[in-house]
Amino acid sequence: MILLGVMYLMYDGVRLLVSAGHGEAFTNAHRVLSLERFLGVSEEVPINHAVSASPALGVPMSYAYAALHYLVTPVVLVWLWRTRPWRYRGARTALVVATLLGLIGFSLFPTAPPRMMPGFVDTLAKYHEWGWWGAAASAPKGLAGLTNEFAAMPSLHVGWAAWCGWQIARNARWRWLQVVGALYPVFMVTVVVGTANHYIADAVAGLAVILVGAAIARLRERRWAYPSR
């Protein structure tokens, strides 16, 4: 938890660095969209319009985007620490490494989210009267300045959800909870794309940083197991 707090301070520092060059963030956003069109995976607009058109979808997904990222991850961390201590260290390392990679991505490739681009609907702004967040961001009303508006690439919402789903599916005793864990990152991809906060490419990048974090954690565990080598 202390490590995550330190990384949040680092995230805040990245926000200050990026805010001075926001023009680059929009250029990078166009690059991401162009790459997706080239690959034939630019399906964000119809998904976003379908979600934002109905309060039955838009409101719960707005709550999911604004809250689950910060609630589920600490709960899974504490659960692993209390009930699966032999797996906690590797899981923690994977999460920390992935988050650090995300911070590097935010600083080197600042990207404006879809909600700032033409043709998209900012779902959280549209339904901001239904929640505690403001019209400017997913932060509490009046605190939008504390968020990095150009931290779209990679999507740590998706990366952290993939980490949570992986840990739950791997360590839960009940089958239904394992299924929930497996579906959680799929749900989060739908949320971030549907609310126009991330591109599909951001979601893929979020999964990639978790895979790299997991690989580094695995190497670290092997070095602990065989120190003489």
How do the domains of the chain map onto residue ranges? 44-225
pLDDT score at 2: 80
pLDDT score at 6: 78
CB 14 within 8 A of CB 151: yes
What sign does the CA torsion over 120, 125, 129, 133 have? positive
Return per-residue pLDDT of the chain as tens, 229 residues. 787 777 777 766 665 565 555 778 899 999 999 999 999 998 999 999 999 999 999 999 999 998 998 899 999 999 999 999 999 999 999 999 999 999 899 888 989 999 999 999 999 999 988 877 766 666 666 555 556 688 889 999 999 999 999 999 999 999 999 999 999 999 999 999 999 999 999 999 999 999 999 999 988 877 766 655 5
Q: pTM of the full predicted structure?
A: 0.88
88 backbone dihedrals φ, ψ, rounded to 5°: -65, -45
Alpha helices in the chain (DSSP H): 2-19, 22-39, 44-52, 55-63, 69-83, 85-108, 123-126, 156-171, 175-194, 200-225
pLDDT score at 33: 95
pLDDT score at 37: 94
DSSP string of 65-105, one letter each residue? IIIIHHHHHHHHHHHHHHH-HHHHHHHHHHHHHHHHHHHHH
Count Cβ neighbours within 10 Å for each residue of 6-22 and write b for 16 or more, e otherwise. Answer: ebeeebeebbeebeeee
